[in-house]
Structure 1
Amino acid sequence: MNASTDRPHTPVPDIYFDPYFELDAVKILPGEYYVTGRDMILVTVLGSCVCACIRDPLTGISGMCHFMLPEQHRDDSLINRAMCYGNHAMETLINQLIENGAQREQLQAKVFGACNAIASPGGHKMGEHNSQFVVSYLEKERITVLARDLLDVYPRKVYFFTRTGLVRVKKLKKLNNTTILDREADYYNRLMEADMSDDVELFS
């Protein structure tokens, strides 16, 4: 599969060359997803948000989505921000994987994020809601979860290697977490520069 068949969410995430890993990479921001059959890296940074890395190991078709809130309710007027909601983001990612050649019964997932750094305005931990949602959703859809790193109090930087399915996760312990919920999207570009050279967990 070549780059022309990749299915990114609008706006199109930028492809860049990662000199550390010597591979093309794509940064996935909140409300975005990316599906590809190429050998590349899908990168994101998570606070209370969740990302799902889903892959068909036989075809190599892989994708990642990044969502902020578990579900969109019927009375929610933010229709144009539907990809920020887990139920829509997960459904869209799975459909695009299949459309690009993945077999549904072969899909495998790894899920990350949902830190409980701060509480939502309603007093509930948004990370807990996101964590419960993504685990329940994948169980309901009968998609095997090979690895998970959810909750805790630290934001995470996630590197998903599409050729092998390997995921590298670095917990960002030196950041000020007080802005994660209300300004998460605004500082993602700064978080993307976090060093991956140490304290990395591997999810193979």
Structure 2
Amino acid sequence: MTSLPVVDAPFKKDPSAPFGFASFRYTERGFDTQAVKVLPGEFYADSKDTPIVTILGSCVAVCLRDAAVQVGGMNHFLLPDGGESGIAGTAGRYGVNAMEMLINELVKRGAQRSRLEAKIFGGGHVMKNFTSLNVGQRNAEFTKEFLNTEGIRLLSEDLLDVHPRKVCFLPKSGRAFVKKLAVDESLVMQEKQYQSRLVEKPVAGDIELF
């Protein structure tokens, strides 16, 4: 993984994007094409080396790729506070939902579930004093359990610690870039608000699997 410069760049939203599919595009320094910014609860997939970028605190981003067809993508999720965080638990359903949305999109684009490989990031201990639990650790543990259960090979990880991260993933080549950031209270507040929304609006129903 290579160090990534932090760039404060404007972005525009594509109104035609489907629900949950990231559509914020902006100019990221060092790349010749527009990047896509993945916000909490979103995912993105592509067969081109469109830079997929996200900022993580306690949240986790999973980058999946099928090298045979050179298609990949990224999600960004957080387990809600409380409940069992394992893949069969009540809180774990949110993580399963986030993973299956990304996997299903990759399969639609020609990937095979059995060929998927993963790089995972995030799970920082940045939401201090929010709960007695280490939210980032719960997210990281869930992610590794899911990948192990599904037989998805883990290529690399950059998890835990106390720093937020900026992550960029190139889905065609599979290259990943990460930069540790200073703790930003606005990021912490964004994650708290996202977690509160998860509690207020539970996952509805099950996802159709391919």
Over the matched positions of the two proteins, sequence identity in percent amounts to 41
Structure 2 residue aligned with 1:65: 75
What is the alpha-carbon distance in structure 1 between the residues aligned to residue 18 and residue 156 of structure 2? 24
1:131 is aligned to 2:140: yes
CA RMSD of aligned residues (A): 2.7
Report how many aligned residue pairs link the two structures.
Answer: 170
Q: 2:34 aligns with which of 19, 24, 29?
A: 24
Please say if residues 158 and 168 of structure 1, whose CA atoms lie closer than 8 Å, have aligned partners that are also in contact. yes
Q: Per-residue displacement from partner, 1:69-108 (whole Å, max 9, x unpaired)? A: 169979xxxxxxx9x9311000111111111110111100
Shift of 1:118: 2.9
Structure 1 residue aligned with 2:12: none
Structure 1 residue aligned with 2:100: 91
What is the alpha-carbon distance in structure 2 between the residues aligned to residue 125 and residue 22 of structure 1? 38
Structure 1 residue aligned with 2:109: 100
Structure 1 residue aligned with 2:204: none
Q: Which has the higher contact order (CA 8 A, sep 6+)?
A: 2
Structure 1 residue aligned with 2:190: 183
What is the alpha-carbon distance in structure 2 between the residues aligned to residue 184 and residue 168 of structure 1? 22
The one-letter amino acid of 1:28's match is V
Please say if residues 8 and 34 of structure 1, whose CA atoms lie closer than 8 Å, have aligned partners that are also in contact. no
Secondary structure of the 1:15 match is: strand
What is the alpha-carbon distance in structure 2 between the residues aligned to residue 133 and residue 70 of structure 1? 12
Q: Per-residue displacement from partner, 1:28-82 (whole Å, max 9, x unpaired)? A: 00000011112211000000000000000110111110002169979xxxxxxx9
Shift of 1:150: 0.4
Q: Which runs of 5+ in 2 are unaligned?
A: 1-16, 85-90, 194-210
Shift of 1:18: 2.9
What is the alpha-carbon distance in structure 2 between the residues aligned to residue 37 and residue 120 of structure 1? 41
Structure 2 residue aligned with 1:200: none
TM-score normalised by the chain length of structure 2: 0.72
TM-score normalised by the chain length of structure 1: 0.74
What is the alpha-carbon distance in structure 1 between the residues aligned to residue 24 and residue 186 of structure 2? 25
Q: Which runs of 5+ in 1 are unaligned?
A: 1-6, 75-81, 187-204
Q: Call closer, same or farther: CA 1:73–1:8 in 2, change over 3 Å.
A: farther
